[in-house]
């Protein structure tokens, strides 16, 4: 299993195309500098009135999404 840590800060306006399904995937840079892509729908549960912000832990296995957890704001 692979674990990636990253920080993201998207306003509600910036996240809107992902929320609407117009853009399917999010691409982030992990804390080690590796670019990681995963389905944007997994961020929906972390959406607040100001957007999506915080440090996250993404786990994958065989390049497939396993879990996403928010670890700090």
Q: Confirm whether pTM is higher than 0.85.
A: yes
Residues near 42 by Cβ (< 8 Å), separated by ≥ 6?
Answer: 65, 68
Phi and psi, residue 14, nearest 5° = -70, -35
Q: How many domains does the chain have?
A: 1
Local confidence pLDDT in tens for the 73 residues of the chain: 999 999 999 999 999 999 898 999 999 999 999 999 999 999 999 999 999 999 999 999 999 999 999 998 6
Q: What's the DSSP call for residue 13?
A: H
């Amino acid at each position: 299993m692979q674990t990636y840590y990253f920080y993201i800060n998207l306003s509600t306006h910036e996240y809107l195309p992902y929320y609407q399904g117009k853009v399917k995937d999010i691409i982030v840079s992990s804390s080690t500098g590796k670019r990681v892509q995963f389905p944007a729908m997994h961020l929906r549960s972390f959406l607040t009135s100001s957007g999506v912000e915080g440090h996250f832990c993404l786990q994958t296995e065989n390049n497939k999404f396993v879990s996403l957890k928010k670890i700090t704001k």
